[in-house]
Amino acid sequence: MLLSLVLSLWQVVAAARFPLHERKGRRRANAGVTILKPLKGCDTETAACLRSWLEQEYEGPTEILFGVADPEDPVCEVTRALIASHPQSQARLLICDSQLGPNAKVSALIQMEREARHEIICVSDADVWVPPDLLAHLTGPLHDPEVGLVNCFYQIANPVNFAMRWEAFAVNADFWSQVLQSATLKPMAFALGAVMAVPRRHLQAIGGFATLANYLADDYELGLRIAREGKRVVLSSVVVQCRSAPMSFAEVWRHQLRWARTIRFCQPLPYFFSILSNGSLWPLLWWASAPSGQALWMAGGFLCARMLMGAWLEARLTGRFNPMSLLMAPVKDGLQIGIWMLAFTGRQVIWRGERFEVGTGGKLARAAGPW
């Protein structure tokens, strides 16, 4: 129980020290940037997310390549309308219909990479909304020749039901702060896939996106390979938003399980010990093992500390305090116990509507057997 509290306090300190949301160190833009946006399907948030990239306040040359596998995908119509309404932007819609590996997103990136014109390659998921000054700040650290990749924290911005609220708390409170906690022990050697910027020469040095086509966590692998080349992976202080369509509890559960099994195969030992940081589990287990009035008060105190720290961490990322976050901490921790256990009971995941198996090191293969 004490170890869990120490880990939680360490998490808070790491989060408090990071200059989140600060806009310092912006440098005059000169490097050209090509933005790669793999697309599949659309929802009510898609147009706003894509528009935010077309309206970047960046002084250097830019182009945006939107890639879709199916020319009949409804996202094509949305994208073409946005391109037409922003004639000043260098934007194109590419049909990336070649299947170059089990990871369909990377398959599109490989085909878009061939069309990219500029020195810096920026990759972003379709559901990411960004502030207008993102590119100006994202590219700043790349002036340092030792920096090989810059990526961003992200918040889940539009949870509309209980399941999405659970996932939002997991990301907005714990995920980003645990990344910083890990970074206090060793340099970051992975990347967060919402937004990543990498100089073309470093991407080519690792063999381009083609080397990632057989991996589920392509963002993790990209950061890992850049770090192995001796370059630094840097976190920007700018926070972006993930805006997704409403998801059911089953959909969120599958998403969380896919994430957990991916991390388990990529970082098996750290993931196994991650249960130690569950700030609600250990106080309750301690009280249940020796129930007494004093134990109940102590367990309650530790649980309240977890609730307060979780709510503060979420407010630090999102810029607003939600009183319901106090209750979400034990709810998220309880559900996470089930996800953690299930991560070790199988290797199958559902991704983009298809069933895959995750192998050693996070390699991806289409599943053949039963779920």
Residue 129 domain flag:
yes
Q: Is the pLDDT of residue 35 over 70?
A: yes
**Structural contact between residues 27 and 140, judged by C-beta atoms closer than 8 angstroms:** yes
Residue 364 domain flag:
no
Side by side, the strands of the sheet bearing 364-366 are: 348-351, 354-358, 364-366
Q: Which residues of 65-96 are buried (b: 16+ CB within 10 A; e: fewer)?
A: bbbbbeeebebbebbeebbeebeebbbebbeb
Say whether both 53 and 82 belong to one domain: yes
Q: Is the pLDDT of residue 297 over 60?
A: yes
Distance of alpha carbon 113 from alpha carbon 111, whole angstroms:
5
pLDDT in tens, 194-236: 999 999 999 999 999 999 999 999 999 999 999 999 999 999 9
Residue 106 domain flag:
yes
pLDDT of residue 369: 58
Question: What string of DSSP letters covers 3-56?
Answer: HHHHHHHHHHHHHHHS-TT---------S-EEEEEEE----TTHHHHHHHHHT-
For residue 183, what is the enclosing H or E element? helix 176-183
pLDDT of residue 292: 85
**Structural contact between residues 93 and 120, judged by C-beta atoms closer than 8 angstroms:** no
Distance of alpha carbon 24 from alpha carbon 36, whole angstroms:
26
pTM of whole model > 0.85? yes
Say whether both 243 and 286 belong to one domain: no
Distance of alpha carbon 62 from alpha carbon 120, whole angstroms:
9
Q: How sure is the predictor about 319, in pLDDT bands with cuts at 50, 70 and 90?
A: very high
Strands (E), 302-366: 348-351, 354-358, 364-366
Q: Print the domain residue range for 345.
A: 2-12+260-359
Q: Strand 354-358 vs strand 364-366: parallel, antiparallel, or unpaired? A: antiparallel
Residue 43 domain flag:
yes
Q: Is the pLDDT of residue 294 over 90?
A: no
Residue 179 domain flag:
yes
Q: How sure is the predictor about 370, in pLDDT bands with cuts at 50, 70 and 90?
A: low
For residue 117, what is the enclosing H or E element? none
Among the candidates 205, 225, 251, a domain finishes at 251
Crossing angle (nearest 10°) for helices 2-17 and 293-318: 20
**Structural contact between residues 251 and 161, judged by C-beta atoms closer than 8 angstroms:** no
Residue 118 domain flag:
yes
Say whether both 141 and 206 belong to one domain: yes
Say whether both 309 and 200 belong to one domain: no
Among the candidates 251, 275, 294, a domain finishes at 251
For residue 124, what is the enclosing H or E element? strand 120-124
Say whether both 283 and 351 belong to one domain: yes
Average pLDDT of the residues of the chain: 93
- Contacts of 269 by beta carbon, 8 Å cutoff, 6+ apart: none
* Long-range contacts (CB closer than 8 Å, 24 or more residues apart) made by 265-270: 265/347, 265/358, 265/359, 265/360, 265/361, 265/362, 266/190, 266/217, 266/220, 266/361, 266/362, 270/182
pLDDT of residue 234: 97
Say whether both 246 and 298 belong to one domain: no
20: how many CB neighbours lie within 10 A of its CB? 19
Residue 368 domain flag:
no
Say whether both 179 and 302 belong to one domain: no
Say whether both 247 and 314 belong to one domain: no
pLDDT of residue 28: 57
| Number of structural domains the chain divides into | 2
Say whether both 47 and 156 belong to one domain: yes
Q: Is the pLDDT of residue 371 over 90?
A: no
Distance of alpha carbon 106 from alpha carbon 92, whole angstroms:
18
Alpha-carbon distances of 321 from 18, 155, 317, rounded to whole Å: 19, 14, 10
Provide the β-strand partners of residue 237.
none
Q: Is the pLDDT of residue 6 over 70?
A: yes
The CATH number of residue 122's host domain is 3.90.550.10
Say whether both 23 and 119 belong to one domain: yes
Say whether both 344 and 238 belong to one domain: no
Site of tokens 């990526």: 151
Say whether both 85 and 213 belong to one domain: yes
pLDDT in tens, 149-184: 999 999 999 899 999 999 999 999 999 999 999 999
Residue 69 domain flag:
yes
143: how many CB neighbours lie within 10 A of its CB? 12
Distance of alpha carbon 331 from alpha carbon 306, whole angstroms:
12
pLDDT of residue 133: 94
Among the candidates 205, 231, 251, a domain finishes at 251
